[in-house]
Amino acid sequence: IARKAMGKQSERQKKENAMHAAQEIHQGEALYRAGAPLAEARAAVILLHGRGATAHDILTLAAELDEPHVAFLAPQAAGNSWYPYSFLQPIERNEPELSSALHGVAGLVAAVEAAGIPAARIVLGGFSQGACLAAEFVARHARRYGGLLVLSGGVIGPPDTPRTYAGSLDGMPVLVGCSDEDAHIPLSRVQETADVLRALGGDVTLQVYAGMGHIINQDEIERARALVQAAVRAKAD
């Protein structure tokens, strides 16, 4: 009996070790910053880059959003990709990288809160693969953040993925923007993402742009700026 128990414990330990190793895939990568120092900021914006891009690339949005009281934080993905395959593939195909990416975002949110900025003043957002990661993180960890920017992305998984997320966004502002013709993001998934976030209690603005392609346009930037400015003014719990 003792040998069987030891065997089970060994298998459990192996699984725990594998999970821990998976969580470390994106850890140790650089964190880029812009705007106000975190210790002095009234709000924070976490920006997640797309596949093949860099944290430095997505951080150029900080200048476009132009808000002096905000700390902008952009983590770098290992190998410039948060997970290896399309966000429409079965979730297990994108593991363990996806779990590591989600774990990293959770750690960054926790670090921002530990620095004194409440969740109600933390905006999460990204473009393309980064937008998918931001949307999936917020759906899985639903509560009242300062806002969510889903720029050409959507929740992760194949069309039959259950969307039984727990928690509530409690009226949190959400911007979902995408082209009506995007080679990477089906319009049906963009609309589904808006529906999922509304069902979680988000105040969702869905903007679909005719023929825009896979880019961020000026209208999205202006809407994102207004959302960030609202987060700066938000009352802390």
pLDDT > 80? residue 142:
yes
Query: Mean pLDDT, to the nearest integer, of 205-214?
Result: 97
pLDDT average, residue stretch 82-98: 97
Q: At what angle do helices 2-23 and 97-114 cross, to 10 degrees?
A: 70
3-state SS, residue 215: coil
Burial code (b: 16+ CB inside 10 Å, e: under 16) for 4-35 equals: eeeeeeeeeeeeeeeeeebbebbeeeeebbbb
Please choose, from the candidates 214, 192, 195, 27, the residue with its C-alpha nearest in 3D space to the C-alpha of residue 130. Answer: 214
3-state secondary structure of 98: helix
How many other C-beta atoms lie within 10 A of the C-beta of residue 138? 28
Q: Tokens in use for 26?
A: 């994106």
**pLDDT > 70 in the chain, percent:** 90
Residue-wise pLDDT tens digits, 219-231: 999 999 999 999 9
pLDDT at 4: 47
Two tokens, residue 83: 């997970």
In this prediction, residues 202-221 reach a mean pLDDT of: 97
In this structure, what token pair is assigned to residue 25?
């895939």
Q: Is the pTM of this model over 0.85?
A: yes
For range 176-180, the mean pLDDT = 98
3-state SS of 112-140 is HHHCCCCHHHEEEEEECHHHHHHHHHHHH
Q: Region 143-164: what's the mean pLDDT?
A: 97
SS3 99: helix
Which pLDDT score is estimated for 19? 54
* pLDDT single digits (tens) 14-56: 555 555 556 689 988 999 999 999 999 999 999 999 999 999 9
CA atoms within 13 A on the CB side of 75: 27
Helix (H) or strand (E) holding 47: strand 43-48
pLDDT at 115 over 70: yes
pLDDT of residue 65: 93
Q: For residue 13, is pLDDT > 70? A: no
The tens digit of pLDDT for each residue in 190-202 reads 999 999 999 999 9
User: Amino acid identity of 85?
Assistant: Y
Q: How many CB atoms neighbour CB 1 within 10 A? A: 5
pLDDT of residue 134: 98
In the prediction, which pLDDT does 21 show? 57
Q: Are 117 and 41 in contact (CB under 8 A)?
A: yes
Average pLDDT over residues 167-172: 97
Residue 167 has pLDDT above 90, yes or no: yes
Strand ranges of the sheet holding 173-179, from the earlier edge strand across to the other edge: 31-35, 70-75, 43-48, 122-127, 147-151, 173-179, 203-209
Output DSSP code: residue 212.
-
Q: How far is the C-alpha of 14 from the C-alpha of 9, rounded, in Å? A: 9
Q: What is the pLDDT of residues 53-78, one digit of tens each?
A: 999 999 999 999 988 999 999 999 99
For the chain, give the mean pLDDT: 92
Q: For residue 3, is pLDDT > 60?
A: no
